[in-house]
Structure 1
Amino acid sequence: MNQFPIFFFWFVCLPVWADGQNLVQKGDSCMEAYDTFHALQFYEAAFRADGSVVNRHRLAHCYYRRQAFAKCIDLLKPLEDDSVSHQGLRELFYSYRFLDNSAAQIYWGNQLLKRYPMDSEMVAEMARTYNQAMQPHKAFALTARYGLKDSSDIAVNRQMGDACFLNKQYQLAAEIYSRLVGLGDSTYSVCYSLGICYQQLKRPDQALPWLKRAVAVSDSTKAGALYYLGYVANDLKQPEEALRCFKKAYGLLEPEPSQMFNVVRGQAESYFQLGRYKDASDAFKDALKYDAGSITSYYYLAYCYQQMDDRENAVVNYNIFMSMARVIERKTDDLKELMGYAQSYLSRK
């Protein structure tokens, strides 16, 4: 009987395996102590001694923890998809996210959900990826399918609501955000989004309390909530409150032209409602510095001068308004009404 295979196993293979196991145990101990530096050395040595799937996963996890995402991918990607553990699939998904490879990220997310369809955290993360890629229809399909089994997961509902919001389905989005509030999720983003939904649905009375809650939750540090709260206050004929909000938003915003135009224009409309035409004219002029193509700003600026008995400046700005309005091919009824008033004023001697 040939004894060589037996001797080879006992005196060559077994010591190597034992050494590998010892290295793994040392690596595991280091990981428990949050020492990834020394754990990496042990896991690399263990993988050289025994390149098993288990050791490959251990080493990949250590690379992932150290944010060496490309090395983590290089270890896990060669495996057959069904050989990658749940943790490995998650690490592939997030590694590709950190490397800004959304196509590969989505692929591995789908692989994970095929095997673990009730992983709600990954459902939400996949939906968030779709929403960020401006594919809200895919985010909604994914979250709605999960919601047939579990309608109470907060992270999944958030992404479902955001998908409806991005699709401009504001009524459905409002219903989902309201469900989140009922589940105990009264975060800034939910209150803010719910308020904007009602504002877009032209229900300012319902938008107001949610935007106020968003402002309170953020301790008045978010310009967006203050900006929308100002517009809702204007819609509700509360110009003093609107001015307060716009002034706070103005102080928080960085000088980004489109944002600054919206805030300054909101201030101008508030002054206009109050009949403070001098303040309104100054604000409309400031708004035009950020967007010289705002046709209605010229109209309201002219109207302010008219109310201040400054015909010269009123005529100048009505003429600018008319010259811009005439070249618009599809004129709305509101624009036609403004043009009619401006022309009537310009026709006077």
Structure 2
Amino acid sequence: MKFIFPVCLILMIVSSGKAQNEVDLLILNRHYSEALNSLEQQLNVTPEASLYFKKGLVCEKLMDYESAISALNEACKLEPNNTIYWEELADAHSALGNYLYAVTYFKKAISIDPTDVRMKGKLAQAYISLKAYPDAFRCYQEIWASDSTNTYYNRYYAYAAYRIGKNDLAVKLYEQLAAKGSHDLNTWTNLATIYNQQKRMTNAVVTCERGLDLFPKNPSLLLKIADSYFAFQEYGKALFAYENYLAVGDSTLDVMKNYGICLYFDKQEEKALQTLEPCYEVTVNDPIVNFYMGACYKKLKRFDESAGFLELAVETATPAYLAEIYHHLGQVYGFQRKFEDSILAYKKALEIDPSKDELLFEIATTYEEFNANKVIALHYYREYAKAAGEGGVNINYALDRIKKIKEELFFEDASSSLSN
């Protein structure tokens, strides 16, 4: 009888090992549903961390990430020092876009094994997904300190540097990748973007041309060349570059607008109008489109149409809120007792939006407060009364002040006459 327990134990171990081998075979052959059923049966008997881990893997293969996370959580509870389990749990959360959780679990794995560079790379990727670029940069900086030759990590190190404004470092890293003939398109487009930001147009164009050797007729690179020339007002070269792009790329609104402007500078006014007209129909309030259409009609001596578009350009070029900004600024200057600045701000607001009648009232009260000559204040009170009419917010006060200022001026004139 004393051998019964050990024999039973051996039979259970053998049976368990056999079951696990069967599960592994099912997973290997991609029979995931059968593997999941087998794992659940085994877990009912022996709830081991390794079984929960395998269940998590199988659920991921079945795209059931919620169940995978649940199983992997159990694995981590049973074996909290197993970095593989924490990593897989973080990966499952990443698959669902739960990057905050992914960061937490990648950090947990790194706390167990701080030397794991691969895990730091995954943590950095999670930070990039969260747009937490400074954190991602610090991770890649650590990785680079231990291995500066890894192309995979250097790609993202360059990107993180670019996103936090460390452009010199980003250029250095991207150029190293480009020199190796990087087949990552972003290497070329990002490097060109940085060169443009640094006002190094020639470098940007050359970078894109080098990229085109690897990616012939690539729309992103062709458009980057065109936009680079356009940004630096090289309209002739930009025109040719946009035509190269349009042969293979989409005719988006911004592209057609820029192309139309290039046609204008190339003295192709009729074609420019044909290109800009659809842009106008989509964005009537775009001052740039309105201006260049007006300019094209002017060159064609169609002055009525030109005037209409140029007037529209003037209207649409001024932000509607700018007058309100000057209005508030004038009030603030008044509170600061900077009355002359206050008047200038009110007048600027009125110049931008003459329909703001209440500005006339503000000007009148400000003049009355700091200028002993009440004639100026009287003038603006009168202008306010004419513009606002009976519906004016402050009409009663304005009319009262007009009456009293007139009386004061009358008595001042009378007194002056008597003294003479």
Q: TM-score range by the shorter chain?
A: 0.7 to 0.9
Distance in 1 separating the partners of 2:180 and 2:73: 39
1:231 aligned to 206, 227, 232, which one? 227
Q: 2:368: which partner in 1?
A: none
- Deviation of residue 215 (structure 1)? 4.2
Partner SS for 1:77: helix
Q: Pick from 263, 276, 290: which aligns with 2:268?
A: 276
1:159-194 deviation per Cα after TM superposition (whole angstroms, max 9, x unaligned): 222223333444432222112224553421211211
Q: When the two structures are aligned, how many residues end up with a matched partner?
A: 318
Q: Deviations over 1:20-78 (max 9, x none)?
A: 12111222233344443443343333333322223332333333333332222212213
The answer as to whether partners of 2:87 and 2:106 remain within 8 angstroms in 1 is: yes
Question: 1:76 and 1:320 mapped to 2: Cα distance?
Answer: 63
Partner of 2:255: 263
Equivalent in the alignment of 2:283: 291
Q: Distance in 1 between matches of 2:44 and 2:156?
A: 43
The alpha carbon displacement at 1:271 in A equals 0.8
| Corresponding residue for residue 195 of structure 1 | 192
SS at match of 1:148: helix
Q: Quick check: 2:32–2:62 contact (8 Å CA) kept in 1?
A: yes
Pick closer, same or farther for the CA change 1:113–1:219 going to 2, 3 Å: farther
Q: Deviations over 1:307-335 (max 9, x none)?
A: 111111111112112223345749xxxxx
The one-letter amino acid paired with 2:257 is R
Alpha-carbon offset, residue 201 of structure 1: 1.9
Q: Deviations over 1:192-247 (max 9, x none)?
A: 2111221222211101122234445444354x333222122333441442232342
Q: What residue is the counterpart of 1:44 in the other structure?
A: 40
Structure having greater relative contact order (Cα 8 Å, sep ≥ 6) = 1
| Equivalences for residues 28-67 of structure 1 within 5 A | 28-67=24-63
Compared CA separation, residues 200 and 88, structure 1 to 2 (3 A): same
Change (3 A) 1:74 1:200: same
Q: CA RMSD in A?
A: 2.7
- 1:271–1:45 Cα change, 3 Å: same
Change (3 A) 1:275 1:162: same
Identity of aligned residues (%): 14
Q: Distance in 1 between matches of 2:28 and 2:318?
A: 73
Alignment partner, residue 161 of structure 1: 158
Deviates more, 1:279-288 or 1:166-175: 166-175
Q: What is the distance in 1 between the residues matched to 2:294 and 2:88?
A: 61
Q: Deviation string for 1:236-292 (max 9, x for gaps)?
A: 44144223234236x436xxxxxx221111211221231212222232332233433
Which letter does structure 2 place at the counterpart of 1:179? Q
Unpaired runs of at least 5, structure 2: 324-420
Structure 1, unmatched stretches of 5+, are 254-259, 331-349
Amino acid across the alignment from 1:29? L
Given the superposition, is the C-alpha separation of residues 39 and 314 from structure 1 closer, same or farther in structure 2, using an over 3 Å criterion? same
